[in-house]
Amino acid sequence: MTRPEFSSISTFEGFSKYYWYRDELLAICRKLGVSSTIGKHELEDIIRQHFAGTLDAAKLKKPRATSRNAKKRTPAEPYTRNTSVVLSGFTCGNMGRAFFEAETGIVPFHFTADMVACIKKARAENDETFTLGDLADVFYGKKTYATYDKSVCQWNQFLKDYFADRGKNGTAEEARALWKKVRDSDKPKVYTPELLLTGEPKDE
């Protein structure tokens, strides 16, 4: 089955059956009247709104307020749970890691993919209300603000599974050809040895 054109898809469920690259999602969103540099997950949410009939392109295109006049954080002002991620210029560097080591008691502390996604979302939306306390709640599973889009790893996992099966007999060209068949189908985006025999993706 060949992936249909976006214009011929009538529901988000139908859209979600297929794999879409971020550049493709950007192009679709531009046609819907929204031009943005946000992440893949947020672009898919715009398309979800389109199918639900709740998309407000004018609102999404409205320039966001900036924090140019916001007070800059200095080393003399330690991070607290009330610290705004945006206003503080928080990063996942040594100071940020030290805060969460003290907060969680985990040493060394490693930021989760969902935490990084939350930081990116807060910056992209200039959400000054999102605090380190909120970020900690995301780590503990008490709060959901943004989630890492795991679909971006589907190709990497496919390639890993392909070479685990094929070993030295595998080639990057063959892997890409098989991936294209899987990517453009409405079947799960996974590698199976049957692909080599039938050339067709199968249901889980």
**117 and 147 Cβ atoms separated by less than 8 Å:** yes
Q: DSSP 3-state assignment of 10?
A: coil
Residues 143, 148, 151: CA angle, nearest 5 degrees: 140
pLDDT, the chain, mean:
85
Q: Per-domain residue ranges for the chain?
A: 6-61, 70-148, 152-198
The band of 43, judged by pLDDT with boundaries at 50, 70 and 90, is confident
Residue type, 92: C
The angle at the Cα of 37, spanning 45 to 94, to the nearest 5 degrees, equals 100
What pLDDT was estimated at residue 59? 65
Q: Which residues contact 171 (CB under 8 A, 6 or more apart)?
A: none
pLDDT of 74 over the 50 cut: no
Measured CA to CA, the distance from residue 109 to residue 97 in angstroms comes to 6
The CA distance from 195 to 141, in Å, is: 38
Mark 136-157 as b/e (b = at least 16 C-beta within 10 Å). Answer: bbbbeeeeebbebbeeeebbee
User: Can you tell me whether residue 84 is helix, strand or coil?
Assistant: strand
Longest CA pairwise span in the chain (Å): 64
For 25-41, what is each residue's pLDDT tens digit?
Answer: 989 999 998 877 677 87
pLDDT the model gives residue 67: 45
Point out the least confidently predicted range of 25-39, 59-73, 149-163, 187-201. Answer: 59-73
DSSP letters, 43-59, are: HHHHHHHHHHT---HHH
- CA angle 84–85–90, rounded 5-degree value: 125
